[in-house]
Each structure stands twice: as C-alpha cells, then as structure tokens.
C-alpha cells in the first residue's frame, strides 16, 4: 500500500496546447475518470490545488485544478484550445494541498473509483456559506458601473449571489486587485455593510484542566506525545477495556498537537449521539471541538470547512466523512471505536475510514491511533506483527471490574413459549431495580416482531421489492421493510388465503420486549431506545440524558445503546438473543458478535456499582460465548486469528466483491456471468461466482455477487481495474458496484 508521490509540476505546463492560451486541467466531482481542460481567462491566476468554479454543460460547479499526469485515466483528451470554456472564477477557500491531492488519488486507486467521485467527498459542503471574516463587507447594489472592464465584470459576477463578502475576499474570488473593489464602492455599485460580530473561533487550551494520569495512562501518553512531537507517521493501537481511561490518555496527544500548532481529527462512529464526548472535551480543553457530521447545519459546515482549510479550526470531531476535510496541517488522527462497522461506507465510494485514516496519516506525516476495547481482527493482527505499536491500558480507572458475563442456557432455563425474558434474568432485574440500579435489555431487532405469519395457510409476509420479511411496528400500526423503507398498514386478513384475523407475529423485537417487561414489572419506568424513536436525534439525546439522570429503570435497546454512552446507574445488562449474529455464513460473524456483546456488557458497572451481565443463548459451548463468559479476550483473538489464517480469510488474504444488479434478473445474471468470463487469468487470483446474493432482491433490483480472492500482498485493486477495463459495459439499468475489502457479504 505505497502511496504515489504527488505531482508538483505547475498546472499550466504547456505540454498539449499553444503557449499563448493558458489551459489547466480541472477535476470535477463527477463519475468521469479524467479531468477536464479549461481556459484560464486574463486576470485570473490559478495553481494546482485551487478550487475553482467552472461551467459544465448548463451548470456551474466546483472543481479542483488538478496536476498533469502521465496516467491516461486522469488526463483529459486534447481539445482545440479555442473551443475550451473559461474558468469562471476562483472559489474563496484555501487550495487543496499536495498531500490531499495524493490522498484523493490513493483512495481512487485503491477503491477502483473515478477520482472525481472521491473529490466529491472532499468538496461536500455548502457553497453559499462564504462567511466574511472581517467586520465589514461589501455587497452588490442595483447600480451597474458606467465604466465596464473585464475586472469589474468579474467582481460583479462573483457577487451576484447577493452574499456579503469582505473586500479582500471579493477581490480574491474575482481574481482582481482590491483597488478594483474600492473603485466599485466609490461608484456605488457595491455598498459597504457592517457585519454582526462573529464569535472568534475559540482555540482549545492544552492546559485548561489536566488530569493526574495513572502510571499505565502516563506511559501510553508519553509515547503518543513523543510521536506527535516527532512529526512523522507513526501508527498506534490504544487497547483497553471500556472505562480504562483511553480517552483521557489520547487527550494528552491532542494537547501536544495543539501546542505544536498542528490540527487533530477525532473520528467517531456515532458522533450525532456523542454530545457527552463534546462536553468532556470542553472540560479538558475549555472549548468544544468543531463537529462534522450529517446533523450539523450546512451553514456551520461551510464555516468548519473553511476554518479547517485555513488552519483556524484546531480540532474536529466527526463521522467518517470528516476524513476528507482539507486540513491545513494535520498532525494527529484518532479513530475511536475503530472496530465499528459504521466506518465502512457501503455505497458510492466503498471505503473503510479506519484504513484510510492510516493512509492519510502517512501522507500527512501524522500520528494515528486506533482506539478500541475490542480491536478488529485486522488491527489486532497488525499490532501483533508490530506494524502498529500497542499501548495497553489493562484496568478500569474507577477500579471496578468489567462485569462478569453469565450464560443463561435457553435449552434448560428458557422462558415459557411466547416470552423472551428467562425467569432468572427477570429475577435479577427485579433485584437490581429494588436496589436502585438500572437494567438494560439488549435486543438488536427494531419493531414489534421480525416476521408475520398466517396461522391458516403458513404464508409469510414479504416486501414486494426486496427479499426480506416485513417487520411489524405495532406502535406505528404497520409492517415495514428494513431494506427499502416500504410500509403498509397491518392487514386484517391474510393476503394469500384471505382468512380473517389469521396473522400472528413471530419472534421478538424491542417493542414486544417492552410489552413483556411492562407486564413483569408494572411499577418500573421503561424506555425503548432504537432508531425508530420519534423525534430524531434531539429526542434521542433527551432520552439518553433522562437515563443518565436516573429517570428510567429499564432500558430496552438495539445496538444504538451499545455505542459509547455512559449510564452511571446501569448495574445489569441482559442480552436477550446472544446467538442472533452467529447464524449465517459471514466470515466476520464471530468477531462481530464478540465485539458487540463485550461492548454491551461493558455498559454496566462503570462507576461505583459492580455490574452484571447475562447472555441468553442456545449455544453456551460456542467459542465466542465461552470467551465472553471466561472474560478471556486473548482466547477469542488467538482462536479467531487461527481460523482466519487456516481458511485464507482476511487479513491473511484479500477480497474484492463485485455486485451486479438490475431490474431484470436474467440481464443481471447474464452480465455477472460475462464479467466472470472475462476476468484476467492469473494463478494469483481466484474468482468465485457469480452467485445470487443472500439479499437477492433490494428495491426491485436483482443482485448477483462475484468474489475475487488473492494473497495478502497481491495488488487486488490493480487486478480489478484491469478486469473492468476489458469488461463489457453495463447497459440499461444494470449497475456494477466494486467493493474492495468487503465487510458485508449480503
């Protein structure tokens, strides 16, 4: 995985065009492999990395002045320069630095995606949020100048959007000298306005409130601080159980980056929900970090984008998309809960933010630390091989023990038919609540029941456009498809045999569990937490707060509650169906189950109270359950790594998946077969399939999968690229998705 060196030649090197016409290549955020050529009009100066506004067809869009390359995939086709369209203007933001351009190219290469699609991830923010930094700004009036020059026209064009800009920004965007702007103000074409005072971007203070570190924390912090100081690429794994003080430890590295004047990126899987983290950051550094995720307003995003590019914003906490922000000087990347699946983007550019964070750190000569209590097998193997330096925090800060996990064997002590809470778990819950503690029932199933069945004819109700059962949501009184969002009222008769009142719910979801718990403990205060909660993120935050404040006795939750929340009063966790993830043939099933259940159990007993956790399982002898019950993490990793090596599974081999889909199943299958037939032959790659995908139908599209497998050190991306270059084109509505290092096999 060696990154290519960035091309630093000047953008307007005159290789293809006559010297009197200035031409540059501009990469646009579209799914085309190569850059486009544009003419640079008189009076505008552009260099590689500059963000510019250019016409494309009837639209205008942002693009990046791209370095010329020998790579035919990126080079535009030569066009008669006289026919080239001109760049409209420069966009007011710092240019993309060579390291960022190299990063975009690296990801495009690795994921086998057009570079423009990766650039799109990097330019995704609101274009109209140009916020002037000075106290006064200028904007256009109704008047137009008597004396018209091309410089003046460009200023007017730049300000036609009606937004206020500082004089210097207006001049820079139009590519003219400030005196042109002054002249237009004098002529009444522009007017000066006073802007409301902007709060200055407050800088975090590295010494605001420094904790006394435990010896293990101090040792780990020293290593991280030294790495940040060294300003060289160094990857770490911060490995310690929940509550061992990992966050407090990496804050020391953040403090050092701030002292060095470099920027920090903290990636989190569920940033929209981790308000507690932001407050905690503020307690340590005096101010909150900048946030970057889908729940941040576009205006705010525009501001963060520019602040990151200018270097003014020092610390960003964000979701995976924050990885594409144009940092001016990135010195430290932290990937919290690095094992989390939310880091893998499953559409568009299929990238894994954890892996790409390591790539970006290398290109930026930055320190990177992956943080987890249950590292991914990939990361654990990298740590065992010494590629990542392991910093271990073996004990919980508060001295409490990670809860013991006790199996409840559903074959011997399960609940009565039609119920899901075993008698022993019910007893323990009662005892916990009487003692003033909280209990969490964990079930990773939204809704009331995962399946609706006709008792007369056995018919099961399926989604009309997906191969999945409809899930009953009793609260909303409808059946829903969790693949495509299709929803329909619960029918009063079987859609197949038309027998009235014959439909029965099968299996439990959190709503059904809620019903059962309420019957068992009528006095208890209950709260269901799942992504179905009406009221969105705001409501969810309020409910989490209520739980923290002890206003709830029993929490019934999906995996939403497993992630990073701190419930001080939580003393008991009951996992309703510990086996749910182990059933199907996913090579990561054991790893996922181990991580999720360990994490859920770790929610209990983080403070004074000792926590307890129960696993309801039909297979207490399964190695994953055994490792969880014995609290033997190493046993799990040793065994799982052995299994992967033996079976030639990642990270001991490499996978690339192709998913062919279309509305016509025959056409999709035929195209998948044609792809298989033209896969380049080499003894180093095996192509398996096509096979119908486990999720054979999604949103009316029939899906077929191919899987290419190679040795670990083989360049599988290059192979897939060569394969696609010689493959028949997907016509009609056929689509081929490429997924390098697939996480999902559905």
Residues 6+ apart with CB under 8 A from 118: 104, 107, 108, 111, 324, 349
User: Distance between CA 287 and CA 289 in Å, rounded?
Assistant: 7
Residue choice 75, 166, 247, 376 for contact with ligand ADP (CB under 6 A): 247
Please, what is the minimum distance in Å from the beta carbon of residue 340 to ligand ADP? Answer: 14
Please, what is the minimum distance in Å from the beta carbon of residue 711 to ligand ADP? Answer: 36
User: Distance between CA 343 and CA 349 in Å, rounded?
Assistant: 12
Cα dist. 529→293, 434, 440, 484, 540 in Å?
A: 21, 22, 10, 21, 8
Residues 446-465 that bind Zn ion (CB under 5 A): 463, 465
Q: Does 326 bind ligand ADP (CB under 6 A)?
A: no
Residue 484 near which of Zn ion, ligand ADP, none (CB within 5-8 Å, type-dependent): Zn ion
Please, what is the minimum distance in Å from the beta carbon of residue 463 to Zn ion? Answer: 3
Residue choice 212, 347, 523, 634 for contact with ligand ADP (CB under 6 A): 212
Q: Does 527 bind ligand ADP (CB under 6 A)?
A: no
Residue choice 244, 438, 595, 710 for contact with ligand ADP (CB under 6 A): 244
Residue 486 near which of Zn ion, ligand ADP, none (CB within 5-8 Å, type-dependent): Zn ion
Residues touching ligand ADP: how many (CB under 6 A)? 15
144 vs 280 by CB, closer to ligand ADP: 280
SS3 assignment for 234-270 = EEEEEEECCCCCHHHHHHHHHHHHHHCCCEEEEECCC
* Site stretch for ligand ADP (CB under 6 A), options 93-101, 235-243, 586-594, 621-629: 235-243
Report whether 572 contacts 615 (CB < 8 A): no
CB atoms within 10 A of CB 346: 13
**Which residue carries 């991306």 as its tokens?**
717
* Site stretch for ligand ADP (CB under 6 A), options 141-149, 206-214, 487-495, 657-665: 206-214
241 vs 513 by CB, closer to ligand ADP: 241
Q: Does 595 bind ligand ADP (CB under 6 A)?
A: no
From residue 485 to residue 504, what is the string marking binding to Zn ion with x (rule CB under 5 A)? -x------------------
Please, what is the minimum distance in Å from the beta carbon of residue 251 to ligand ADP? Answer: 8
Q: Does 382 bind ligand ADP (CB under 6 A)?
A: no
Measured in whole angstroms, the distance separating CA 293 from the mean position of its chain's CA atoms is: 9
Cα dist. 132→109, 182, 198, 729 in Å?
A: 37, 17, 9, 47
38 vs 343 by CB, closer to ligand ADP: 343
Residue 432 near which of Zn ion, ligand ADP, none (CB within 5-8 Å, type-dependent): none
360 vs 603 by CB, closer to ligand ADP: 603
User: Distance between CA 739 and CA 746 in Å, rounded?
Assistant: 12
Residue choice 33, 86, 145, 211 for contact with ligand ADP (CB under 6 A): 211
Structural tokens at position 597 = 């259940």
362 vs 563 by CB, closer to ligand ADP: 563
Cα dihedral sign for 362, 363, 367, 371?
A: negative
CB atoms within 10 A of CB 368: 26
Residue 242 near which of ligand ADP, Zn ion, none (CB within 5-8 Å, type-dependent): ligand ADP
In 440-488, which ranges are continuous DSSP H helix? none
Q: What angle do CA 149, 150, 154 make, to 5 degrees?
A: 120
- Characterize the bridge pairing of strands 315-318 and 51-56: unpaired
Residue by residue, DSSP assigns 99-112 as HHHHHHHHHHHHHT
Report whether 661 contacts 701 (CB < 8 A): yes
395 vs 692 by CB, closer to Zn ion: 692
Residues 396-435 that bind ligand ADP (CB under 6 A): 397-398
Q: Does 452 bind ligand ADP (CB under 6 A)?
A: no
Residues 669-728 that bind ligand ADP (CB under 6 A): none
Q: Where are any strands of DSSP class E within 307-353?
A: 315-318, 330-336
Residue 243 near which of ligand ADP, Zn ion, none (CB within 5-8 Å, type-dependent): ligand ADP
* Site stretch for Zn ion (CB under 5 A), options 324-332, 394-402, 473-481, 589-597: 473-481
In 488-604, which ranges are continuous DSSP H helix? 510-520, 536-548, 589-601
Structural tokens at position 464 = 């009309």
Q: Does 240 bind ligand ADP (CB under 6 A)?
A: yes
Q: Does 697 bind Zn ion (CB under 5 A)?
A: no
Where do contacts with ligand ADP occur on this chain (CB under 6 A)? Answer: 211-214, 217, 240, 242-248, 397-398
Binding site for Zn ion (CB under 5 A): 463, 465-466, 481, 483-484, 486
């Amino acid at each position: 995985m060696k990154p290519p060196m960035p091309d630093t030649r000047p953008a307007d090197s005159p290789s293809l065009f006559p010297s009197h016409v200035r031409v540059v290549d501009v990469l646009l955020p579209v799914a085309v492999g190569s850059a486009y050529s544009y003419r640079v009009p008189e009076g505008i100066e552009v260099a590689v990395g500059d963000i510019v506004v250019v016409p494309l067809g009837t639209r205008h869009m942002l693009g990046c002045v791209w370095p010329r390359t020998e790579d035919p995939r990126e080079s535009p086709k030569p066009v008669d320069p006289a026919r080239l369209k001109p760049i409209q203007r420069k966009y007011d933001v710092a240019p993309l630095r060579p390291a960022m351009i190299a990063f975009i190219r690296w990801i495009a290469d690795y994921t086998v995606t057009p570079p423009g699609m990766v650039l799109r991830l990097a330019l995704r923010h609101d274009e109209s949020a140009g916020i002037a930094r000075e106290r006064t700004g200028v904007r256009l009036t109704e008047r137009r100048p008597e004396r018209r020059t091309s410089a003046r026209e460009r200023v007017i064009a730049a300000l036609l959007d009606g937004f206020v800009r500082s004089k210097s920004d207006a001049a820079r965007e139009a590519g003219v000298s400030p005196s042109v702007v002054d002249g237009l103000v004098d002529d009444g074409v522009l007017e000066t306005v006073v802007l409301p005072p902007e709060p200055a971007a407050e800088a975090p203070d590295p010494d605001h409130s420094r904790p006394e570190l435990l010896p293990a924390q101090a040792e780990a912090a020293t290593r991280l601080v030294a790495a940040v100081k060294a300003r060289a690429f160094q990857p770490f794994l911060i490995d310690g159980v929940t509550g061992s003080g990992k966050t407090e430890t990496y804050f020391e590295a953040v403090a050092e980056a701030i002292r060095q004047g470099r920027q920090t990126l903290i990636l989190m899987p569920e940033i929209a929900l981790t308000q507690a983290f932001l407050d905690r950051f503020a307690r340590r550094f005096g101010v909150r970090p900048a946030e970057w995720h889908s729940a941040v307003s576009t205006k705010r995003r525009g501001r963060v984008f520019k602040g990151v590019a200018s270097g003014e914003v020092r610390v960003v906490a964000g979701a995976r998309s924050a990885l594409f922000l144009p940092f001016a000087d990135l010195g430290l990347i932290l990937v919290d809960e690095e094992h989390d699946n939310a880091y893998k983007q499953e559409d568009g550019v299929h990238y894994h933010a954890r892996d790409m964070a390591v790539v970006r750190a290398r290109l930026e000569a930055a320190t990177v630390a992956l943080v987890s209590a249950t590292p991914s097998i990939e990361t654990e193997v990298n740590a065992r091989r010494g590629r990542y330096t392991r910093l271990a925090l073996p004990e919980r800060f508060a001295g409490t023990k990670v809860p013991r996990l006790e199996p409840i064997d559903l074959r011997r002590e399960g609940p009565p038919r039609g119920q899901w809470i075993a008698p022993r778990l019910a007893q323990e819950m009662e005892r916990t609540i009487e003692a003033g503690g909280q209990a969490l029932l964990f079930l990773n199933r939204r809704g009331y029941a995962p399946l609706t069945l006709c008792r007369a004819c056995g018919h099961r109700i399926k989604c009309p456009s997906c191969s999945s059962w409809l899930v009953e949501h009793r609260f909303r009184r409808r059946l829903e498809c969790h693949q495509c969002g299709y929803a329909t009222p619960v029918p009063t008769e079987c859609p197949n045999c038309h027998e009235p009142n014959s439909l029965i719910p099968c299996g439990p979801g959190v709503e059904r569990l809620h019903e059962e718990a309420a019957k068992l403990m009528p006095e208890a205060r209950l709260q269901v937490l799942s992504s179905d909660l009406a009221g969105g993120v705001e409501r969810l935050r309020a409910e989490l707060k209520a739980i923290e404040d002890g206003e709830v006795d029993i929490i019934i939750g999906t995996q939403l509650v497993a992630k990073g929340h701190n419930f001080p009063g939580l003393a008991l966790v009951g996992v309703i169906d510990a086996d749910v993830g182990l059933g199907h043939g996913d090579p990561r099933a054991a790893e996922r189950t181990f991580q999720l259940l360990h994490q859920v159990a770790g929610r209990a007993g983080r403070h004074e109270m000792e926590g307890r956790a129960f696993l309801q399982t039909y297979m207490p002898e399964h190695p994953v359950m055994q490792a969880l019950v014995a609290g033997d993490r190493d046993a799990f990793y040793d065994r799982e790594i052995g299994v992967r090596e033996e079976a030639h599974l990642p990270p001991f081999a490499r996978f690339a998946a192709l998913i062919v889909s279309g509305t016509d199943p025959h056409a999709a299958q035929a195209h998948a077969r044609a792809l298989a037939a033209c896969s380049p032959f080499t003894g180093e790659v095996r192509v398996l399939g096509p096979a119908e995908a486990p999720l054979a139908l999604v949103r009316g599209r029939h899906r077929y999968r191919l899987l290419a497998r190679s040795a670990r050190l083989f360049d599988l991306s290059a192979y897939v690229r060569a394969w696609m270059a010689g493959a028949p084109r997907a016509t009609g509505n056929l689509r081929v998705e490429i997924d390098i290092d697939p996480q999902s096999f559905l």
